[in-house]
């Protein structure tokens, strides 16, 4: 299986999108080489605006550009785009429901060596809390490409959560519809809802469990808001046991989004796998993921706890 | 509109501000009254807008960065015919069109939702940059408060305006010298604002009396240099036109009661 980062797919998809949609412009905050908007910059230098190390201004400039009929894709690291510029996103993009696409890279602890200051594990919680915001976290490079196109097609603000680390690209192309989760593996013992880079880990975990006689369904929840409540409810009822897996704090992320759907409606065992109310730290990405219990064998062990 | 008509327009807007805030028992009369001449002159003499077609894509744009002075904005828009004065009763009310701070989704003529200080200038930069990108001749105006310039984001916006040579952008700083906790100098000194604006690359015009309509018109009609955004540092009086509100910090965010409303309106009969 080949490996590719969702940020790399983002940069390439922007070029493809730029060729067919002349309204698309891209803004970055001195991180174009890291967010991969540099790919777009090379193809369309006149449509790429570097706003310098000034994320708050960048988000509002994107808001202003969108009111002129353009479709701005705005990129920096998730920590600064969703974190530092949170209030700009909330008040100047989401409140007037402007057509700004916030494509933030380097989300989660898989940032690796840069450490906690650059590993945003709260962005899903922050963005999900804002009325009218669409929150998408693609599982692989192919899905990231489709998410970019889907975000451009819809009217309104979108938060795209992208990763630095190169991760497996699924061989089969999955359908992609905003708000519609994809069931990647059927199973009746436990429903595993995963998002982003954790989807491939969850699939690996399900294979490990199968060898032990446990049949785990794996569902790719690429859209965290609006969440696919019908799918979540169906699989929770069917399996009676629910586990969520995300490379994000267990506070406010996918786990809570799934819990919000089920609470008081479906009786089931429930467990959230994610960063357990801690900050990240430096290290090789895969070692950091292991430190936080986010590798397939560890996920398999955690899933067994609800059986 | 000639100068006499413009002066009358400003008086009407001042009466609107008093009525709106008194009706609501809430709102920001002080900074609304200081900015009346500048906002009225921008809308009446500078901007290409059509109250009958408020979303015309070819219109000029206005961003009230100091969004709490919405009563002045609503007064100006209403006097121009964007909506009727009957809407004034909805100011700051549940289901009201006239929200406490400008809401572009609800109010005809409002180009940007503002209120959180420091963000409007950046939105205006985005509009001016977007216009340049699209090859449009749109002009963009924004008004900031002086206290608002304590927000760091304002200077990020100013940097970008200069970097992208936005000569289609006019930034006004309504320098009434007061903010909620006291004078600017007591709260957080702004220093030499004119020098700062020049240092950030603006073609800078200083207006000694920003409540004098002739001075305001002269500043607005002064052309900028090609490639340079324009800044107007307008020295004004907070609460201007209502004797008991002038230069009083306490009238930043307090509405007049009925007795005060009557007195204010009487003074504004001229």
CB atoms within 10 A of CB B247: 15
Q: What is the mean pLDDT of residues B132-148?
A: 98
- Which strand (E) or helix (H) includes residue A218? strand A216-220
What is the spatial distance between Cα B124 and Cα A7, in angstroms, rounded to a whole number?
A: 30
Residue A166 C-beta-side C-alpha neighbours within 13 Å:
6
CB atoms within 10 A of CB B114: 31
CB atoms within 10 A of CB A86: 19
What is the spatial distance between Cα B261 and Cα B23, in angstroms, rounded to a whole number?
A: 9
Asked if the Cβ–Cβ distance from A49 to B164 is below 8 Å, we say: yes
Q: What is the pLDDT of residues A143-184, one digit of tens each?
A: 999 999 999 999 999 999 999 999 999 988 889 999 999 999
Q: What is the mean pLDDT of residues B171-194?
A: 97
Q: What is the pLDDT of residues B256-270, one digit of tens each?
A: 999 999 999 999 986
Determine the residue of chain A that is closest to B135 in CA distance. Answer: A68
Distance to chain A for B254, nearest Cα, Å:
24
Distance to chain B for A108, nearest Cα, Å:
27
Instruction: Tell me phi and psi for residue A188, to 5 degrees.
Output: -115, -5
- Best residue in B63, B122, B124, B229 for a mutation probing chain A (most A CBs within 10 Å): B122
Instruction: Tell me phi and psi for residue A186, to 5 degrees.
Output: -90, 155
Asked if the Cβ–Cβ distance from A92 to B116 is below 8 Å, we say: yes
Q: What is the pLDDT of residues A276-302, one digit of tens each?
A: 999 999 999 999 999 999 999 999 999
B164 touches chain A (CB under 8 A): yes
Residue A173: per-residue pLDDT: 85
Identify the CA nearest to B164 among candidates A74, A51, A71: A51
CB contact at 8 A, B95 and B27: no
What are the respective helix, strand and coil percentages of chain A, to the nearest 5?
A: 45, 20, 35
Cβ neighbours of residue B23 under 8 Å, at least 6 residues apart? B88, B89, B91
CA geometry: angle at B232 spanning B227 and B237, to 5°?
170
Cβ neighbours of residue A103 under 8 Å, at least 6 residues apart? A10, A35, A73, A74, A75, A148, A151, A160, A162
Asked if the Cβ–Cβ distance from B130 to A91 is below 8 Å, we say: no
Instruction: Write the residue in A54, A62, A70 that is nearest to B156 by C-beta.
Output: A54
What is the spatial distance between Cα A196 and Cα A78, in angstroms, rounded to a whole number?
A: 14
CA geometry: angle at A264 spanning A261 and A265, to 5°?
65
B142 touches chain A (CB under 8 A): no
User: Which residue among A16, A22, A55, A87 is the active-site one?
Assistant: A55
Task: Check if the interface score ipTM surpasses 0.85.
Answer: yes
- Best residue in A45, A48, A61, A65 for a mutation probing chain B (most B CBs within 10 Å): A61
Q: What is the DSSP string of A44-104?
A: -GGGEEE--S-HHHHHHHHHHHHHTT-EEEEESBHIIIIIITHHHIIIIIITTT---EEEE
Distance to chain A for B62, nearest Cα, Å:
11
What is the spatial distance between Cα B176 and Cα B147, in angstroms, rounded to a whole number?
A: 9
Give strand pairing partners of A305: none
CB-neighbour burial class of residue B29 (10 A; exposed 0-12, middle 13-18, buried 19+):
buried
What is the spatial distance between Cα A37 and Cα A104, in angstroms, rounded to a whole number?
A: 11
Q: What is the pLDDT of residues B71-125, one digit of tens each?
A: 999 999 999 999 999 999 999 999 999 999 999 999 999 999 999 999 999 999 9
- Best residue in A46, A64, A93 for a mutation probing chain B (most B CBs within 10 Å): A64
Catalytic: A172? no
Residue B175: per-residue pLDDT: 98
Which residues of chain B does A95 touch, with a Cβ-Cβ cutoff of 8 Å? 103, 113
Q: Measured on CA atoms in the order A289, A292, A294, A299, is the torsion positive or negative?
A: positive
Q: What is the pLDDT of residues A91-139, one digit of tens each?
A: 999 999 999 999 999 999 999 999 999 999 999 999 999 999 999 999 9
Asked if the Cβ–Cβ distance from B125 to A64 is below 8 Å, we say: yes
Cβ neighbours of residue A223 under 8 Å, at least 6 residues apart? A134, A135, A136, A178, A179, A180, A181
173-232 in chain A: CB under 8 A from chain B: none
Q: What is the pLDDT of residues B30-86, one digit of tens each?
A: 999 999 999 999 999 999 999 999 999 999 999 999 999 999 999 999 999 999 999
Q: Read off the pLDDT band of A209 (50, 70, 90).
A: very high
B96 touches chain A (CB under 8 A): no
């Amino acid at each position: 299986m080949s490996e590719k980062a969702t940020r790399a797919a983002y940069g390439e998809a922007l070029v493809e999108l730029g060729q067919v949609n002349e309204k698309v412009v891209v803004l970055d905050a001195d991180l174009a080489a890291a967010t991969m908007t540099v790919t777009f910059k090379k193809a369309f230098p006149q449509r790429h605006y570097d706003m310098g190390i000034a994320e708050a201004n960048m988000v509002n400039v994107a808001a202003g550009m969108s009111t002129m009929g353009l479709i701005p894709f705005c990129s920096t690291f998730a920590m600064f785009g969703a974190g530092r510029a949170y209030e700009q996103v909330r008040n100047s993009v989401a409140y007037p429901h402007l057509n700004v696409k916030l494509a933030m890279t380097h989300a989660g602890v898989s940032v690796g060596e840069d450490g906690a200051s650059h590993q945003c594990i709260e962005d899903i919680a922050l963005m999900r809390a804002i009325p009218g915001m669409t929150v998408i976290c693609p599982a692989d490079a192919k899905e990231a490409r489709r998410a970019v196109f889907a975000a451009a097609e819809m009217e309104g603000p979108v938060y795209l959560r992208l990763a630095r680390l190169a991760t497996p690209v699924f061989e089969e192309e999955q359908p992609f519809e905003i708000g519609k989760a994809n069931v990647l593996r059927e199973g009746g013992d436990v429903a595993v809802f995963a998002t982003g880079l954790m989807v491939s880990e969850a699939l690996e975990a399900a294979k490990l469990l199968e060898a032990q006689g446990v049949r785990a369904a794996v569902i790719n929840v690429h859209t965290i808001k609006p969440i696919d409540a019908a799918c979540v409810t169906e699989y929770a009822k069917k399996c009676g046991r629910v586990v969520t897996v995300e490379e994000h704090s267990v506070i406010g992320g996918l786990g809570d989004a799934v819990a919000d759907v089920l609470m008081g409606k479906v009786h089931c065992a429930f467990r959230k796998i994610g960063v357990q109310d801690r900050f990240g730290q430096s290290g090789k990405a895969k070692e950091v993921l292991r430190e936080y219990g986010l590798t397939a064998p560890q996920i398999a062990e955690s899933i067994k706890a609800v059986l | 509109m000639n100068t006499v008509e413009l002066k009358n327009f400003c008086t009407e807007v001042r009466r609107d501000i008093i009525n709106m805030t008194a009706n609501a028992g809430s709102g920001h009369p002080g900074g609304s009254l200081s900015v009346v001449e500048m906002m009225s002159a921008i809308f009446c003499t500078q901007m290409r807008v059509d109250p009958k077609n408020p979303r015309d894509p070819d219109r000029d744009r206005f961003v009230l960065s100091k969004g709490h002075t919405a009563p002045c904005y609503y007064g100006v828009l209403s006097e121009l015919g964007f909506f009727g004065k009957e809407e004034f009763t909805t100011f700051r009310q549940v289901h009201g069109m006239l929200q406490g701070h400008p809401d572009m989704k609800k109010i005809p003529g409002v180009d940007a939702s503002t209120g959180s200080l420091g963000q409007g200038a950046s939105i205006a930069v985005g509009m001016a940059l977007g216009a340049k990108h699209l090859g449009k001749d749109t002009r963009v105006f924004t008004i900031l408060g002086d206290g608002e310039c304590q927000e760091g984001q304002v200077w990020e916006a100013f940097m970008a305006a200069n970097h992208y040579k936005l000569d289609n952008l006019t930034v006004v700083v309504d320098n009434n010298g007061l903010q909620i906790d006291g004078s600017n100098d007591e709260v957080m000194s702004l220093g030499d604002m004119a020098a700062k604006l020049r240092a950030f690359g603006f073609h800078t015009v200083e207006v000694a009396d920003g409540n004098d309509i002739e001075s305001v018109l002269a500043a607005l009609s002064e052309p900028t240099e090609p490639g340079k955004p324009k800044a107007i540092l307008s020295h004004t009086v907070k609460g201007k036109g209502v004797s008991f509100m002038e230069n009083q910090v306490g009238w930043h965010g307090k509405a007049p009661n009925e007795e005060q409303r009557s007195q204010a309106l009487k003074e504004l009969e001229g």
